[in-house]
Amino acid sequence: MKKFYIACMLFLFLSIDSTAQVTASAAKGETFNSGVYGLGFSGGTASGAGVSLRYHTTGKSSYQFVGGIFRPKSSDMFVSAGVEYQSDLIRSNSSRFYATGATSYLYNGSGKNGYTAPWRAGMGLGGEFSIQEGVHFTFEALFTYFSDGTILPLPQLAFHYYFY
């Protein structure tokens, strides 16, 4: 317990004099002059897994389409198709924070779907961070509803290259 208190005090001490990397004026999420397309890979239970195409409008909205077909030699075929909507809450030149909603349908098998809950839908929050010019990493935390009634908090990850 003593180590826990020391760690908390150290964290508070180190964060007292720290400054933010993004100023408040740069993080207001102003609109783009034109729409921006991104191409990459996305993986998650709410939006599906596979190749991802993202379109960020001139406003604060993004649309993402995810699709994948995988067929390993030793197992059945896996098909994933999903869509996602993102609404920016905060945006700067190097990152953005947004609310998101996603849905997908997954199929695994040959003839009959091996999933008992193939349809999924989720809502939550996400963050996108620029790794280098044009390349962005996305992390999302969504409460995901499965068609069998299960609800779980699950992560999603994505990498995209934006064509500015």
Answer whether residue 71 shows pLDDT above 90: no
156: pLDDT strictly greater than 80: yes
Average pLDDT in the chain: 84
Count of residues in the chain: 164
Range of the domain at 121: 33-163
Report how many domains make up the chain. 1
Position 14 in a domain: no
Considering the domain boundaries, does residue 118 fall inside one? yes
| One-letter amino acid for residue 135 of the chain | V
Q: Is residue 21 part of a domain?
A: no
User: Tens digits of per-residue pLDDT, 111-152?
Assistant: 889 899 999 999 999 999 999 988 999 999 999 999 999 999
* Residue at 11 is within a domain: no
Q: What's the confidence (pLDDT) of residue 17?
A: 43
| Residue 84: CB atoms within 10 Å | 27
* More confident site: 147 or 76: 147
CATH code for the domain of 112: 2.40.160.20
9 within a domain of the structure (yes/no): no
Checking if the pLDDT of 18 tops 70, the result is no
pTM: 0.77
Is residue 83 one of the residues assigned to a domain?
yes
Domain-located, residue 46: yes
